[in-house]
Chain A
Amino acid sequence: MAFQLVQKFHFEGVDYSYDRKGDVLDVSFGPPSPAIALQVEDWLAIRVGLQPPPFLQGITIAGFKRIFEKLNRYIAREIPQRMKRLSTASVEISYDDSTDTLIMRVREQAPGRRRRVKERHPCDTHSASVFEQLSQAAVEGSPIAGDRSLRNVYVEKSLPSKDLVGIKILEYTKCGPAALEAIFGAIIDTVFESNAEHNENAHLLTKALIERFDWRKLATSTA
């Protein structure tokens, strides 16, 4: 029998601490609790809670200031209007067994009147969107393993604004972990490899993640 799993993550309990001397930023979703790290790259760890079922406990960034300076290049113009968005965001992850597809969608609480209208008319909240392959290199059959893993990764963009709405991974049971690894790799390369070939969708995904941090509070705590 086909099934569909849907799980929602809310970030209103986001909490972080910055150790200036060690230049380490710890972000937790809720109070800090025991966890094990999945090391994405030498500076970035995703913490998964020890209590079952596994949950995203937080992230640790070692050498945050250097990274913050690099990220700032991308978002300088947009920082003021993107403050405190992370706490209003939620991520919905759904898996459809019949199509073996995982979809992650980022949702944000609409401000003021728009929110009240959406609450009264929930059916009107679904808008048109389009899917594009995350990596152009994957489309063209790149021999690089990471790019091959991206073949089944699509970004969902709203229409007509083309803002990032979510990510879709096809053949998830076969290539899910490799695809997630490749997504992280694409984001990191977008941030650090300024000479790398421009990948519009990877940039869009990176920007969407970056802009959800409360940069004003971070800037205050790192000053």
Chain B
Amino acid sequence: MQEEISDPTGFEAVLTEACWFHITERHPEMSEFKRLVVEAVRNPDGIYLGRRDPTRRIYRKKYASVPGIGNWLDVLVFVDKESGYVATSYFAAYSLRTLGQQIWPSS
């Protein structure tokens, strides 16, 4: 069953069964953490527009501890700006460069 998730700006993201299957097939560490992906969109620390692909919304939420995975990890969720389709998601320990243009919260 697909989930429709509203972010703080009112934008609606859609997490379909097919997408979740693709995410967990390639990133098996995510299989127990669907609720973190949903939470990262619903209540993120930051929302960005991709630097190289501005049609991409990137949601980031930091977690102090993720059982079985590690500490101080960002959940990143990539969403298509037009369709709201959640494209992928994973845990990131470190970012060498900024995630793009921050659109929320606005400074």
Chain A interface residues toward B at CB < 8 A: 17, 19, 21-24, 26, 28, 32-43, 45, 47-48, 50, 60, 62-63, 66-67, 181, 184-185, 188, 192
**A-side contacts of B48, CB under 8 Å:** 42
Q: A35–B80 Cα gap in the complex (Å)? A: 24
Within 8 A of A (CB), among B47-85: 48, 50-53, 56, 58, 69-70, 73-74, 76, 78, 80, 85
**B-side contacts of A23, CB under 8 Å:** 87
A62-B56, A184-B96 given; A42·B26 CB < 8 A: no
Q: Does B95 sit within 8 A of A, measured CB to CB? A: yes
Report yes or no: A35 in contact with B52, Cβ–Cβ below 8 A.
no
Q: A181–B94 Cα gap in the complex (Å)? A: 11
Task: Give 4 nearest A-B pairs by CB, closest first.
Answer: A22-B87, A34-B29, A63-B53, A39-B95
Q: A50–B73 Cα gap in the complex (Å)? A: 13
- B27, B28, B58, B69: the one contacting A42 at CB < 8 Å is B58
**CB closest residue in chain B, given A46:** B96
Q: A94–B29 Cα gap in the complex (Å)? A: 30
A32-B28, A42-B52 given; A22·B92 CB < 8 A: no
**A-side contacts of B28, CB under 8 Å:** 32-34
Q: Does B34 sit within 8 A of A, measured CB to CB? A: no
Within 8 A of A (CB), among B86-107: 86-88, 90-100
> What is the CB-to-nearest-CB distance from B103 to chain A, in angstroms, rounded to a whole number?
13
**A-side contacts of B76, CB under 8 Å:** 37, 39, 45
Q: Which of B70, B85, B91, B97 has the most chain A CB atoms closer than 10 A to its own CB?
A: B97
A17-B26, A32-B27, A32-B28 given; A42·B97 CB < 8 A: yes
Report yes or no: A37 in contact with B93, Cβ–Cβ below 8 A.
yes
Q: A71–B91 Cα gap in the complex (Å)? A: 27
**18 A–B contact pairs at CB < 8 A?**
A19-B19, A21-B18, A22-B19, A22-B88, A23-B87, A36-B90, A38-B93, A38-B96, A39-B74, A39-B96, A42-B48, A42-B56, A45-B76, A60-B88, A63-B53, A66-B53, A184-B96, A188-B97
